[in-house]
Structure 1
């Protein structure tokens, strides 16, 4: 489909009818605390629902307990292999491009700063990383996996934020539309799919066309399970580029909340990086991936490392060439990537399973080895809006 200002405006008025109705009923009946307590014991596919679970929640969990019937499992397997081949690079793109890009959209940054939990970026990073790992497991949709329950809970989390902001009159729906509206949900899907692929390309990572398209497809499936309207969402990478360019041009800009959230993110990763010598690399990598204009809006500090980081694609290209030519090299680099991702995620989660609970209130104030041959290399779709 073709996206225009008018179609984007219409998407700003729509939330997620099923999840919104479920959350509204839970709050109306005073059952949110009970729901959160019982749902801590429900975390895997095929597990019996807890006794005493509110009926409206039980109905919601039943309706959302399976992936869409149109899922192409061959594409999902390609996406999994793509992730195995590029897991550390995907994690880097999520951390240093997707997350800051969220903060460069002022109304999204304001919304993210509204919940208690998002005062601590490690929690959101851990939840995002864990969610992606769940998605890319071999049996992500089979009995015993954790992905579907996580998706069901995230969808209710989004609905609860809409509920609080609208009920408490803390969101200007006249100018901003519905909080976490369809436009923003689709925009978020693009941030975690198309922008990740753009970032990998910028870093010089070798990607096949099949692999890139499969990774994007997997996030289409995720979007469907999180309540994204499938009649409105981009169906391929070309239409995704059109949507994402228009979305960012419509909304991106500086904000105090974006600066504060970015500072918290940089502090978090400087703590993860051993010692202090390489701390400036964090900001330099963000600046390299999001560009100087966005980095300046987010008050990302400039350092001598800004120039050094620009050499990263050349170094990664050497490693990628080794991986392309040597099965042993590919295996070794995949294992290194796996262990790096595990270390990063364990540092954020501290070994815990992250729970996606419905917040009972918001902050009082806004604070702030691959089976896919890597031939026919993927290149990003061309921009569709003059930047």
Structure 2
């Protein structure tokens, strides 16, 4: 799959037709508050929808209640086992690479700065962490799971942000396209899949080709459920690299909003780390994973720990070797990773369940090891150099 400038421009002006129409109708009829109130009690798949739920919302929830028909469940199980085997590393990559990568796209940083509740980065990180934990549970797509309702609500939340920014004339559509457009949603899908794999590779985490491919595939399923047009999404890791390289070259750069959001993120994680001695490791890890150019754009401070962090992959490589060769040690490390992830999520949520709701206004403030043994080690697809566009 190739991505011309014209094709990417078209994606920049495309939203999510189903969710956008649902949200527009809810606002037009003044039913948004009612929807949010009733949907707080719908948190598991298969639960009966409450009486009085607006009909347009009921139709949307029925239409989005099941995963895509093309899902390969054996691959999804491999992805789940891959997550269990690497959950603490994946959480690290999401926190210190994927989130800052969002901030290095100026229009995305502006959008995040403008939307409800994102003056509180702990909430956004908690919602992301909770969403990922829901996804990787064995029953994620079965009756009783929390993942499907979360995905349905997040999709409507994105549509509501588009609705508000355009209606309130707070977004330059001519210059920046549709808010939370298909191009940026695909880019986000790459940040949470391919960029995570890149970060694990940079941390010297042992990954099989099969595990890496399954993890990427799982985020294609997630993207489909969040309204990302999978016909436009790279189907494999090699073409994903081509898309991500072109997307970043088109989109990344410095911005005041990106630097501000990054500072909030650093402050948040320095608060989570006990004491102050280890605080600089937060900045050092972000710089190590996103690279000096992006880190400088985001005004990530340089610290004496920058050199220390470079030794982390060697230590993790030793632990991964122990895990590969000693099943009992591997299970112990998996369990420790699980507990670490739960501790991090608990610290961010303060023990509360995060609820995803349609913002009614926008404010400026506001334990198992993989049964598939590693075969070939996964290495990132090489970077691509987009062809120079030819004149029409």
The TM-score with structure 2 as length reference comes to 0.97
In the other structure, the counterpart of 1:138 is 138
Q: CA deviation at 1:385?
A: 2.4
In the other structure, the counterpart of 2:274 is 274
Structure 1 stretch 167-176 or stretch 77-86: which is displaced more? 167-176
Q: CA deviation at 1:352?
A: 1.1
SS at structure 2 position matched to 1:217: helix
SS at structure 2 position matched to 1:231: helix
In the other structure, the counterpart of 1:239 is 239
Alpha-carbon distance between aligned partners in 1 of 2:317 and 2:257, rounded to the nearest angstrom: 36
In the other structure, the counterpart of 1:41 is 41
**Does the Cα contact within 8 Å between 1:126 and 1:349 map onto a contact in 2?**
yes
Number of equivalent positions: 384
In the other structure, the counterpart of 1:300 is 300
SS at structure 1 position matched to 2:260: helix
SS at structure 2 position matched to 1:45: coil
Alpha-carbon distance between aligned partners in 1 of 2:385 and 2:247, rounded to the nearest angstrom: 10
In the other structure, the counterpart of 1:118 is 118
In the other structure, the counterpart of 2:189 is 189
Q: CA RMSD in A?
A: 0.9
Q: CA deviation at 1:350?
A: 1.1
In the other structure, the counterpart of 2:176 is 176
Alpha-carbon distance between aligned partners in 2 of 1:236 and 1:119, rounded to the nearest angstrom: 35
**Does the Cα contact within 8 Å between 1:234 and 1:243 map onto a contact in 2?**
yes
Q: Which string of whole-angstrom CA distances, capped at 9 and with x for unpartnered residues, describes residues 43-79 of structure 1?
A: 0011000111000000000000000000000000000
Q: Which string of whole-angstrom CA distances, capped at 9 and with x for unpartnered residues, describes residues 277-304 of structure 1?
A: 0000000000000001111111111110
**Does the Cα contact within 8 Å between 1:82 and 1:372 map onto a contact in 2?**
no
In the other structure, the counterpart of 1:7 is 7
Q: CA deviation at 1:102?
A: 0.4
In the other structure, the counterpart of 2:26 is 26
In the other structure, the counterpart of 2:223 is 223
**Does the Cα contact within 8 Å between 1:287 and 1:295 map onto a contact in 2?**
yes
Q: CA deviation at 1:351?
A: 1.2
The TM-score with structure 1 as length reference comes to 0.98
Q: Which string of whole-angstrom CA distances, capped at 9 and with x for unpartnered residues, describes residues 282-327 of structure 1?
A: 0000000000111111111111000000001100000000001000
**Does the Cα contact within 8 Å between 1:93 and 1:199 map onto a contact in 2?**
yes
For structure 2, which runs of at least 5 residues remain unmatched after alignment?
387-392
For structure 1, which runs of at least 5 residues remain unmatched after alignment?
none
In the other structure, the counterpart of 1:327 is 327
Alpha-carbon distance between aligned partners in 2 of 1:37 and 1:179, rounded to the nearest angstrom: 26
**Does the Cα contact within 8 Å between 1:127 and 1:354 map onto a contact in 2?**
yes
